[in-house]
Amino acid sequence: MVIILFDSHAKQNLYPLTQTRAIADLRFGIFSVKERWEAITGLPVYVQTENYLSCLYESIPEDEYLLIDAAIKDEDDLRVQILSLQTGEAIYDEYGLVAGRTTADITAFKTGKPRNYFEKIININNAPRILFPWEIFLWNDEQLRKDFLLLFARSITQTIAETIKIIQPDNIIIEEGAVVEHCIINASTGPVYIGKNATVMEGAMLRGPVAICEGATVKMGAKIYGATTVGAYCTVGGE
C-alpha cells in the first residue's frame, strides 16, 4: 500500500504558499506534511496536485492506495482512524473526503466523484484542516512539540559540545553533521531540534520550541524565540 496526499479545495485558500507547491510540501513543526506521514507510517508517500505542478513529483505507481487530504491536521485520534481504514472504506466530513482506501484506478480521481471509489462511507464532524496561511503559525508550537516526540524515539543526538551553554539538554536533538559551537540553547520552554548538516554560528541564542532543519544556517549573534521553524537550507539572522 502507498499513501497519496491530494490537494483539496484548501489549496486556493493557502495562496500564495501553494502557488508553486502542493499542500503536502508545506512545512510546520519539524516536518513537511509529506515527511510527517512518511515518518509516522514508514510507507511510500506520493503527491497528487494540479497538472501544472505534477512534474515536480514522482509518478504514482499501481498499488493499493490510502488517499489522504494533505490539509488534514495531525491529530492522534483521526490519524488512528485513517490508518485503520479497510479497502473500500472512506471518511467524509462537511468539507469533503478526509481519507479513503481503494484499489481502484485513480487516474481520474481529481476530476471524478471521489465517493464512487468507496463502498462504505464513514461520516465525521469537522476534521481539523489547515485552511488559511495564518493557521500554520498558530499551530506551529503544538506541532513542533509533537514532531520532536516522534523523532526523540528514533534519533541519536550528537554529543553536545562543551562550548555550548545548555538548559535542559534532554529536550535537545542535534543530528549528525550539524555544527553547533559557542552558542546558548534554552530548551526549558520547549524542545530544540537541529537537523543534519545545519550550522548554528557563534553567539546565537535559541529558545525553544525551535527547529533548525537540515542544512539550515543560523548566523552569528542571532536571537531566535519559539515557536520557530527554519526550513531546510534556509539562512536566518535572528530578530
Q: In which domain, by residue range, is 148 found?
A: 139-236
Sheet holding 223-225, edge to edge: 165-167, 184-186, 205-207, 223-225
> Does residue 16 sit in the same domain as residue 96?
yes
> Does residue 121 sit in the same domain as residue 145?
no
> Does residue 187 sit in the same domain as residue 199?
yes
Backbone torsion region of residue 237, taken as left when φ is above 0, otherwise alpha when ψ lies between -120 and 50, otherwise beta: alpha
> Does residue 99 sit in the same domain as residue 207?
no
Which of 94, 93, 38 lies closest to 66, judged by CA? Answer: 38
C-alpha cell at 67: 488517499
> Does residue 8 sit in the same domain as residue 125?
yes
> What is the identity of the amino acid at 180?
V
- In CATH, what number is assigned to the domain containing residue 174? 2.160.10
> Does residue 12 sit in the same domain as residue 114?
yes
Task: Read off the pLDDT of residues 106-129 as tens digits, 9 standing for 90 and up.
Answer: 765 655 566 777 889 999 988 999
pLDDT of 33 reads 96
> Does residue 11 sit in the same domain as residue 106?
yes
Query: Is the CB of residue 211 less than 8 Å from the CB of residue 10?
Result: no
Task: Read off the pLDDT of residues 123-178 as tens digits, 9 standing for 90 and up.
Answer: 998 899 999 999 999 999 999 999 999 988 666 677 788 899 999 999 999 999 99
Report the helix count and the strand count for the chain, using DSSP H and E. 5, 18
Task: Read off the pLDDT of residues 187-236 as tens digits, 9 standing for 90 and up.
Answer: 999 999 999 999 999 999 999 999 999 999 999 999 999 899 999 999 99
